[in-house]
Structure 1
Amino acid sequence: RIGISYTGIFESEGYGTPYEKGHLSSLRLPGNRFYLKIAEDIHHKKKMACIDCHTREEVMGNGTSYAHYEEQLEIGCTVCHSEKPGLTRKGNKLTNVKKEQGRYFLVGRNNDQHYPLKPPGKTSCRYPGHRRLSCESCHSSWVPQCYGCHAKRDKRETHLDKLTLKETKGWWEEGRSYIRYEKPMLAVWGKKVVIVTPGCQDVVTLIDEKGKIEGGFNRFTMAAINPHTTQAKGRDCADCHSSSKTLGLGEGTVLKKDGKWAFIPIDQGVDTLNGRTVGFDNFVTIDGKALQHGSRKDLRPFNGEELHRILRVGLCLRCHKTYDDPVYTNYDPKKKCPVYKEP
């Protein structure tokens, strides 16, 4: 969905809302799929095309078969937004980055427009407490989130095998629980904080030739993504430090009582053959126990210490609203506030 997200389009549920004079929405994609118009990526707003950033080797390949998409990628935000832009992650030079009169520009491949390249802000982007944040974790305003992939295989019927073009035993049906776009969830990939979204949250039911359930399984996975919904202004402090959804806990209520954190989720999961699942948007418990898999070995939710440290800053935001507040200089998470008594 990155392509349509870049243009500010979110494929919505099939309800056809918001209604137009009592009728279903007229905003539809091919296949009669409803959509909502949300914030477009700042680069799309500036009339930039995909090939203005992404290289020939990324799009067409360089002769190597990669196991994962990120291994083929060369472009990241800092390739352009740095003090000396123009060199990809793999050391290749971007041919459309030019230096003219002491300033760097990216030249549009389709429109020949010159886009001035600016390094990250010296304050918020380089704040010590944000050193692990990827650019997109703060500057992406939304991400498509499809929760709950319900798949059923019924051996009483057949299905067309798209590779052999032959009818084969077993009819497959697929549905979902719900979709969202707001409050992109954060997690840790290696040494960086990134955005994650449901990869596959499979609830699979298997039906035999007699119509009886013969088995099934559940497996929930979160996957890292750069949603390509970049905005010039980053998310505010409360979007992370006071949002249970952003932190991977899911929608719900965070409490602190007698010095201990607690969380009450809204999504309570669904009943399946293998018991009740976790909530679809619950990636981690308040104590840092992972509830779902990561799509890579080193992709994980925040651990307990990280969660508690992030949430504690959220308690400070009522009085100390910005990162440049003196209280956050040499911030010590163990230091007690002289004014506010923590629960």
Structure 2
Amino acid sequence: MNRISDVVLMLAVAVMFLSAAGCGSSGGENASCLSCHGKIEHASPAHPSCVSCHGGDGRARSKEDAHRTMFAPRNPSDPAVWEKSCGACHPYQLGRVRSGLMYTNTGIIRNIQLTWEGEDGRRYGARQDDLYDAEGKRVRVNGVAELNNLSGELYRKFCSLCHVGIENRYAWGVGHGSGCAACHFPRNADSAYEGSDLTMRLRGPAASSHRMEGLPGNDVCFRCHNRSGRIALSYLGLNDGNNGLVPTRGGFPGPQLTSGNRNVTSIPPDIHHARGMECIDCHTSRDIMGDGYAYENLYHQVEIRCEDCHGSATSPPRWREIVRENEEAVRESARYPVQMRPGMRMIVTAKGRPYSNVFVKDGRVAVLGKRSGRVFTSKVITGSPAHTVVGHDRLECTACHSRAVPQCYGCHTKYDKGRTGTDFIKGMDTPGLFTETEDYRMLYPFPLALNQRGGIAPVTPGCQTFVTVVEPDGTLSREGYVSTFKGKKQLRFAPFYSHNTGERAIGCGECHANPAFLGFGQHVTGKGRIDGTLRCTKNEAKPLDGFQTMEGGLVRAFSAITRENSRPLNDTEAKRVWRANLCIVCHTRADDPIYRKELDYRALDDALHRRLLTGSAGRAVAR
């Protein structure tokens, strides 16, 4: 036992020595590296060797000899070399990231194809690879560089920059490295190094420090998720709807600016953020890095749901006890302020996998902040009156508890063949420049429709593409063309979770009485009809902010809801929603006994209701 103790002590001393010496010891294989980079930040105790990550010769006597065999001078995690560097020690994590949607972007590329040319029977991703789907079948992912049409070009020139396959060195405030470094190394607004290594000082594009971040903060998520659905903005309580840069503070735009010269103002934040939770406190590593399987849509990869921690109307959260010391929850929590251990009852995700930070404590659901160490208590809603209203079985949590849903109406895409644009995947400028403008943006109210699971959930424009094509001679071959989806010229909405959750739900009367929530947009009503009023000059026949109208008392949908099995509420369902107002006008509380069973509208004909409805019992109504 004494010899074992001595060995442990020697190892501890060695780690302390390596940590004190920057990115490794002052001699040995790092000697040449540290002769120039003596003050470089130590990446982490688990990464003591420079050459194991960057390659090169750490014992060479000249810079040229030391650098000659480097395979990663700047970023060892770049996908071009990550199998030699990160993947050599972390093959499990690399396999997950390679197949994850944050890297492959297969879903984004597929949806662009559906808008522009339609699918061609092949699956495309950021780079060519052979992966496996959730059923264990081999999947060939073709590189998007081979997609030589407008779909491929739009992704490469417009969408790819935000995603982790390549480095974003162009955008102020939201730059990131490629590969693993996109999440695990810090980045400042200018993508400039500001650490202690004088040979690298203020050089870029680069991480702001050489110190690795094992657990990314909200600022890392913000780098990418501030565009498109803008979920990082919504979660933090921000909105970039004032892009006219109208002054809001001291004569200047504000309260802050973000990338793309966007003026960001404040809205109420998501309740989880307000309570102190970070993105990774809810999202598992499998949500973010992938689980090793190739998916085509994000909702297949994301494994968490609100019901995991809060329960459903009829079932409380599920849990599984840790029985082995090598289970994933134990391994992943090794860097948390509190480690999970055998015997703990871990809450499981919608896919049945244990969380690494959510567990049962004293009969309650506890959520550990992975970085902060704070313990949050999750309220379980199972059996509560507000969640057991008969007829609400299909409602997703987000249908009632979303406070703001970013909606960008009228996306006008211009493709100018006479100008050049940067193809970020191919790394060169090529003919054809994409630009976009919009018509209108709003947060509330938001439309509801059936999502891919058959649940009623918020939807948002996704996307409303009006295409203008400018030929090399300046003539317009297309102007304001409505793109085709599923064989028809139609606009699209997509199921969406905005990440702006409130504790209080939308009022029953508000949702049941406002046709905007059912997809009628801003409207006027008449006898047996509902007409939308927000119309674009490029599409005057149909409203932008809705996907259906009512004519002659019948509901007619005219835009598509994307995702398989998704659709607007039909005529029967819409009228059932509105009919409930006959009761809601008086019975305003969810715990009213009448909502414990299906509403019986024949009760309106009994003596009590006849007196109430004719006004002969006005004082009773007031009570």
- In the superposition, the TM-score normalised over structure 2's length comes to 0.51
Counterparts of 2:410 and 2:600, CA distance in 1: 37
Q: 1:322 to 1:89 in 2, by over 3 A?
A: same
State the shift of 1:144 in Å.
0.8
Name the CA distance, whole Å, in 2 between partners of 1:145 and 1:110.
32
> Is the CA contact 1:244–1:253 (under 8 Å) kept in the aligned structure 2?
no
After superposition, give the CA deviation of every residue in 1:209-262 in whole Å (9 maximum; x if it has no partner). Answer: 22222135313111111111111111111231111211111111334x4xxx32
Alignment of 1:230-249 (within 5 A): 230-249=501-520
Q: Does 1:229 align with 2:493?
A: no
Q: Would you tell me which structure has more strand in proportion to its own residues?
A: 1
Aligned match of 1:253: 524
Of residues 548, 555, 562, the one that matches 1:284 is 548
Which structure is higher in RCO with an 8 Å CA cutoff and minimum separation 6? 1
**Contact 1:270–1:279 (CA under 8 A) maintained in structure 2:** no
- Is the CA contact 1:309–1:333 (under 8 Å) kept in the aligned structure 2? no
Q: Is 1:115–2:376 an aligned residue pair?
A: yes
Partner residue of 2:17?
none
User: 1:207 — aligned with what?
Assistant: 470
- Mapping for residues 61-76 of structure 1, pairs under 5 Å: 61-76=290-305
Report the 3-state secondary structure (helix = DSSP H, G, I; strand = E; otherwise coil) of the residue aligned with 1:79.
Answer: helix
What corresponds to 1:296 in structure 2? 563
CA contact (8 A) 2:239 2:267 kept: yes
Confirm or deny: 8 A CA contact 1:140 1:229 kept in the other structure.
yes
The answer to whether the aligner puts 1:78 opposite 2:342 as a matched pair is: no
Shifted more, 155-164 versus 47-56: the winner is: 155-164
Task: Determine the C-alpha separation between the residues in 1 that align with 2:245 and 2:308.
Answer: 40
Counterpart of 2:430?
A: 168
Superposed, 1:261-272 pairs within 5 Å as 261-271=528-538
Greater shift in the superposed pair: 37-46 or 287-296? 287-296
User: Could you state the TM-score of these two structures normalised by the residue count of structure 1?
Assistant: 0.89
Q: Secondary structure at the match of 1:240?
A: helix
Question: Contact 2:532 / 2:549 at 8 angstroms: preserved in 1?
Answer: no
CA distance 1:333–1:264, shift in 2 (3 Å):
farther
The equivalent of 1:320 in structure 2 is 587
**Other structure's SS at 2:462 match:** strand
The more displaced of 331-340 and 30-39 is 331-340
Give the Cα–Cα distance (whole angstroms) in 1 for the partners of residues 494 and 478 of structure 2. 26
Q: Distance in 2 between matches of 1:19 and 1:214?
A: 41
Check conservation: 1:41, 1:230, Cα contact below 8 A: yes
Letter in 2 for 1:28: L
Residue 314 of structure 1, CA deviation: 2.9
Query: How far does the alpha carbon of each residue in 1:35-73 deviate from its partner, in whole angstroms, 9 at most, with x for none?
Result: 121111111111111111111111111211111101111
Structure 1 residues 162, 97: closer, same or farther in 2, change over 3 A?
Answer: closer
**Range 162-171 or range 299-308, more displaced:** 162-171
Checking the alignment, whether the CA contact within 8 Å between 1:288 and 1:302 is kept in structure 2 is: no
Deviations, residues 163-193 of structure 1 (Å, cap 9, x unaligned):
2233322232210001111112210124210
For 2:547 and 2:247, locate their aligned partners in 1 and report how far apart those are by CA, in whole Å.
30
Q: For 1:21 and 1:73, locate their aligned partners in 2 and report how far apart those are by CA, in whole Å.
A: 42
Contact 1:183/1:239 (<8 A) preserved:
no
Secondary structure, counterpart of 2:580 in structure 1 = helix
Q: Mind listing any 5+ residue stretches in structure 2 that lack a counterpart?
A: 1-229, 319-346, 484-490, 615-623
Q: Distance in 2 between matches of 1:103 and 1:336?
A: 41
3-state SS of 1:246 partner: helix
Larger mean CA deviation between 117-126 and 61-70 belongs to 117-126
Query: 1:95 and 2:356 equivalent?
Result: yes
What is aligned with 2:387? 125
Using the alignment, how far apart are the partners of 1:169 and 1:266 within structure 2? 39
| Aligned partner of residue 548 in structure 2, secondary structure | coil
Q: Report deviation, 1:18.
A: 5.7
Residue of 218, 224, 235 corresponding to 2:482: 218
Structure 1 distance, partners of 2:537, 2:572, is 29
- Aligned residue for 1:138, secondary structure, equals helix
Q: For 2:308 and 2:272, locate their aligned partners in 1 and report how far apart those are by CA, in whole Å.
A: 14
- Alignment correspondent of 1:310: 577
Structure with higher helix content: 2
For the residue of structure 2 that corresponds to 1:40, the secondary structure is coil
1:13-43 per-residue CA deviation (whole Å, 9 max, x = no partner) reads 3223463355444432234311121111111
CA-to-partner distance for each residue in 1:87-122, whole Å, 9 max, x for gaps? 111111112223233333122111222212222151
Equivalent residue letter for 2:317: K
Q: Deviations over 1:253-276 (max 9, x none)?
A: 334x4xxx321222133235xxx4
Taking structure 1 as reference, are residues 277 and 149 closer, same or farther at Cα in structure 2, changes over 3 Å only?
farther
Offset, 1:320: 2.9
SS at match of 2:509: helix
Query: What SS class does the counterpart of residue 137 from structure 1 fall into?
Result: helix
Partner-residue secondary structure (3-state), 1:124 = helix
Distance 2:253 2:290 in 1: 43
How far apart are residue 337 of structure 1 and its match? Answer: 3.6
Out of 456, 460, 476, the residue aligned to residue 197 of structure 1 is: 460
Asked whether the 8 Å contact 1:161–1:167 carries over to 2, the reply is yes
Question: Which string of whole-angstrom CA distances, capped at 9 and with x for unpartnered residues, describes residues 287-339 of structure 1?
Answer: 33222122212111111111111112235433332334455454447648444
SS of aligned partner of 2:437: strand
The number of residues matched between the two structures is: 334
Q: CA contact under 8 A between 1:74 and 1:89: conserved in structure 2? A: yes
Cα distance in structure 2, aligned partners of 1:42 and 1:171: 40
Of the structure 1 ranges 80-89 and 131-140, higher mean CA displacement relative to structure 2 is found in 80-89
Q: Which amino acid aligns with 2:458?
A: I
Distance in 2 between residues matched to 1:314 and 1:247, nearest whole Å? 14
1:57 alignment counterpart: 286
Using the alignment, how far apart are the partners of 2:254 and 2:375 within structure 1? 38
CA gap of 1:233–1:213, structure 2 versus 1, over 3 A, is same
CA RMSD of aligned residues (A): 2.2
Cα 1:127/1:23, change in 2 over 3 Å? same
Equivalent-residue separation in structure 2 for 1:299 and 1:139 (angstroms) = 20
Change in CA separation of 1:318 and 1:84 when aligned onto 2, cut-off 3 Å: closer
Alpha carbons 1:200, 1:221 under 8 Å: kept: yes
Corresponding letter in the other structure for 2:466: V
Larger radius of gyration: 2
Distance 1:317 1:99, change over 3 A: closer
**For residues 546 and 272 of structure 2, what CA distance do their matches in structure 1 show?**
32
Q: What amino acid sits opposite 1:291 in the alignment?
A: F
